[in-house]
Structure 1
């Protein structure tokens, strides 16, 4: 499956230079309802889910992608107002978890049997349920373990691999990143990676490929 990850210019070039992506932790995400997309009106259930969120955040993280790169909102929100990069990756379908968007929070009865046993697929639902207004992201998630913390900055990273294979680099319409800049971080070992420069479309509200190569030096 081809998926896309948006970054500002600094972090995008750093990711390419070091062949890794920063792993997001649940407490750092921009949606306060992450892992809490359940009806929490019952106090005991509310406390239980808060504990689950804290516990998961200790040893699991995620990589967030979109299934599309042409939506201008994604560039505005996640690529420094079109000045950053979009990295296209190929990941195994079986590892990709598509987010489900809903206006209605999950009910505990959707997740647990009366004896509190977990229903099949309940954990996946909790991990991949978001409010419907996030639908524009068309998000795909890859859940990973938190193993080796970077001693310098305290972050966790996931290396490029067969499970996270870099295929495209798309430079934002407002980005000053040049072809030369990309060559410097990609090197010969990434000669197969497609390089594109994006621009606003002329007829639609989309971001598209700039086919006039002379406009990107």
Structure 2
């Protein structure tokens, strides 16, 4: 891996964003502009998000400063897998939505991607030993083991709420809306002509072929 590469996943690795057809204008923005939205941690669905423990050498002021930095972090959640049934159910409206396969880029607007560690709340070192942003991102890449099925990779934004990606494939769920599906396919063909279009039923065969390569 090249030294300039900022992500924990290889350049060729495809990561996946499961999503419904709701907020359709946001889906159009993803396809037209090849970018994903990065939200702050308080918008996540895990109530324990952002929890941590720290040594008693932290002062109240240092804790407040760290909390401010944590609150400023924005990230986009992706998955390392495209065939997780619970993800299709929870994030793609019961298999009625899509799964967007992307690869990461090597630019500032592409942010920095880290694999989520499913071991609960992290323990922090003394504040003088690490930058505040590094500590904040360490906190936000740890989650409870109950979420491990998501195989999550988080892209932390370095530039506002958007991160640039390269869209490689779009997978339609088994129950994708028959009225919206043709419209989405037309958008893909116009703005992403090299992108592979698949259905959820294709995944077993496609993934088996990839594992053999």
User: What residue is the counterpart of 2:112 in the other structure?
Assistant: 95
Pick from 105, 123, 132: which aligns with 1:107? 123
Q: Which runs of 5+ in 1 are unaligned?
A: 148-155, 202-206, 211-217
The structure where helix makes up a greater share of residues is: 2
Equivalent residue pairs, number: 184
Structure 1 residues 185 and 131, CA, compared in 2 at 3 Å: closer, same or farther? same
1:10 alignment partner, SS class: coil
Q: How far apart in 1 are the matches of 2:33 and 2:39?
A: 17
Correspondence 1:3 to 2:8: no
Q: Check 1:124–1:83 CA distance in 2 against 1; reply closer, same or farther (3 A cut).
A: same
Match of 1:39 in 2: 53
Of 129, 134, 147, which residue of structure 2 is paired with 1:118?
A: 129
CA contact (8 A) 1:172 1:198 kept: yes
User: Which aligned pairs between 1:135-150 and structure 2 lie closer than 5 A?
Assistant: 135-147=148-160
Q: Per the alignment, do residues 181 and 136 of structure 1 end up closer, same or farther by CA in structure 2, a change over 3 Å counting?
A: same
| Equivalent residues of 2:40, 2:71 under 8 A apart | yes
- Quote the residue 1:173 is aligned against: 174
> Conserved in 2, the CA contact under 8 Å of 1:198 and 1:209?
no
Given the superposition, is the C-alpha separation of residues 46 and 129 from structure 1 closer, same or farther in structure 2, using an over 3 Å criterion?
farther
Alpha-carbon contact 1:196-1:209 (below 8 Å) kept: no
**Secondary structure of 2:77's match?**
strand
* d(CA) in 1 for partners of 2:114, 2:135: 13
Alignment of 1:20-39 (within 5 A): 20-36=35-51, 38-39=52-53
TM-score, normalised to structure 1, is 0.70
SS in 2 for 1:145: coil
Residue 209 of structure 2 is matched in structure 1 by none
Q: Secondary structure at the match of 2:183?
A: helix
RMSD of the TM alignment (CA)?
A: 3.3
Greater share of residues in strand: 1
Q: What does residue 66 of structure 2 align with?
A: 52
Q: How big is the shift at 1:176?
A: 1.8
1:60-93 CA distances to partner (integer Å, 9 max, x unpaired)? Answer: 3111100001110011111111111100001159
Alignment partner of 1:184 is 2:186: yes
1:40–1:46 Cα contact (<8 Å) kept:
no
Q: 1:45 to 1:127 in 2, by over 3 A?
A: farther
Question: What's the secondary structure of 1:170's corresponding residue?
Answer: strand
8 Å contact 1:35–1:53 — kept in the other structure?
no
User: Could you tell me the TM-score, scaled by structure 2's length?
Assistant: 0.71
SS in structure 1 at match of 2:129: coil
